[in-house]
Amino acid sequence: MHIQLVAILGWTATLAVCGLAWIRGGPAERWGSLIVLAGSIVYSLIQLFLPPASQSVVNLLCEGIYGFAFLTLALRYTSPWLGGAMLLQAIQFSLHAYYIVGERPHDTTYGMVNNLNSIGVLICILLGIVSSWRRRTRAAK
């Protein structure tokens, strides 16, 4: 029951932040939310359809792609929140690599770091949304 609650809360937060990005955010926030939403969907599909033996390597590959996507956005839009999200994705990539190289099974520490990292990326996007929203409000006055 506990793990299901965490998953439901995670999906709720992800969908809420992504929805807010599309309503109140600028182009950078929309692209960032698209990366997060696509990453969440792909991660869920990996867990559902791939055998456990290959999930770690595919997750590592996907984290590298997400990090590169945030790097591309950071270079394009030069926003501080994108730099934070990109660094958090680098931490996520390192987490997956550490567990693969160490041949360690996913434990409570992995779950906590993974979830905290995901929350950090969502907070970065929220900061970007607030910044973009305030900038547009100031420009309208």
**CA angle (2, 33, 141) in 5-degree steps:** 125
Neighbouring C-beta atoms of residue 34, cutoff 10 Å? 15
22 contact partners, CB below 8 Å, separation of at least 6 = 30, 33
In this prediction, residues 52-61 reach a mean pLDDT of: 90
Residue range 61-90, pLDDT digits in tens: 998 999 899 889 999 998 888 889 989 989
25 CB-near residues (< 8 Å, 6+ apart): 33, 125, 128, 129, 132, 133
> Is residue 1 predicted with pLDDT exceeding 60?
no
Q: What is the separation, in whole angstroms, between the first and last Cα of the chain? A: 49
Q: With 80 as the cut, is the pLDDT of residue 3 above it? A: no
Distance CA 117, CA 95 (A): 10
Under a CB-based contact definition with an 8 Å cutoff, are residues 122 and 13 in contact?
yes
Residue spans per domain, the chain: 2-140
Task: Write the DSSP symbol of residue 102.
Answer: T
State mean pLDDT over 88-110: 92
- Rounded Cα–Cα distance for residues 30 and 24 (Å): 9
Cβ(71)–Cβ(32) below 8 Å: no
According to the model, what pLDDT value does residue 114 have? 92
Structure tokens at 100: 């693969």
